[in-house]
Amino acid sequence: MTKLGILLSGRGSNFLAIAESIRLGHIDAEIALVVSNREDAPGITAAQALGLPTLVLPSQGRKRQEHDEAVVDALRRAGAEWIVLAGYMRLLSPWFVHQFAGRILNIHPSLLPAFPGLDAQKQAFDYGVQFSGCTVHFVDEHLDHGAIILQKSVPVLPTDDEHTLADRILVLEHIAYSEALALVLSGKYRVEGRRVLPL
Ligand code: GRF
């Protein structure tokens, strides 16, 4: 069974949705390690409650690659084969990306390439778009940039504010991330340039 390494910094709702999909047998994988770069991340407490192996490696004040080397070392020791970024609020060094080339996934709460970076839902809301959504993509050296695996869209309603929009996107994030993971772990895809196509 494929071993996953999960990296998170906060709430951990995407991680929990993935853990539930695994429990239900929708994803053929096991979680080998959950790493947080923040001691106070609720996601790490939730992982402990599920009895999963966890590790906190504080990143504040550490050089990017130096911290990444410690994370990668822990992931390798745990046998992680694929890396899932689930609200990991730290840019990976090119070195890290190279260690797991083509095997790192991220989810972003907008329809990329629109609104990369922080507060994507607020960016989209303030811009006045009528549709937004979420994107699961491969991770490359650039922020929120790698090839798109799957997107799901939601309408922005006249009654929305940035928070209700974010809530509606989050519901789809939890579905999209598991679907994308199931696809890549099945190996039934090919990458042509920036396009990820089913086999
Ligand atoms: C999500 O909105 C995700 O798209 C973004 O960070 C947030 C993490 O939320 N990358 P959670 O910690 O998974 O609840």
Domains delineated in the chain: 2-108+134-153+170-198 (3.40.50.170)
79: phi then psi, degrees, rounded to nearest 5? 85, 20
| Nearest ligand 1 atom, CA 8 | 12
86 Cα to the center of ligand 1, angstroms: 6
Q: Whose CA is nearest to atom 2 of ligand 1?
A: 109
The model's pLDDT over 133-176, given as tens digits with 9 standing for 90+, comes to: 999 999 999 999 999 999 999 999 999 999 999 999 999 999 99
Say which of 67, 108, 137, 174 is annotated catalytic.
108
Average pLDDT score over residue span 113-141 = 98
User: DSSP letter string over 95-131?
Assistant: HHHHHTTT-EEEEESS-TTSS-SS-HHHHHHHHT-SE
The confidence band for 33, taking pLDDT boundaries of 50, 70 and 90, is very high
- Nearest-Å Rg of the Cα atoms of the chain is 16
As a whole number of angstroms, the distance between CA 146 and CA 139 comes to 5
SS3 breakdown of the chain: % helix, strand, coil, rounded to 5? Answer: 35, 25, 40
Pocket test for ligand 1, best of 107, 178, 181 (most atoms within 8 A of CB): 107
pTM: 0.97
CB-based contact 134:104 (threshold 8 Å):
no
Q: What is the mean pLDDT of the chain?
A: 98
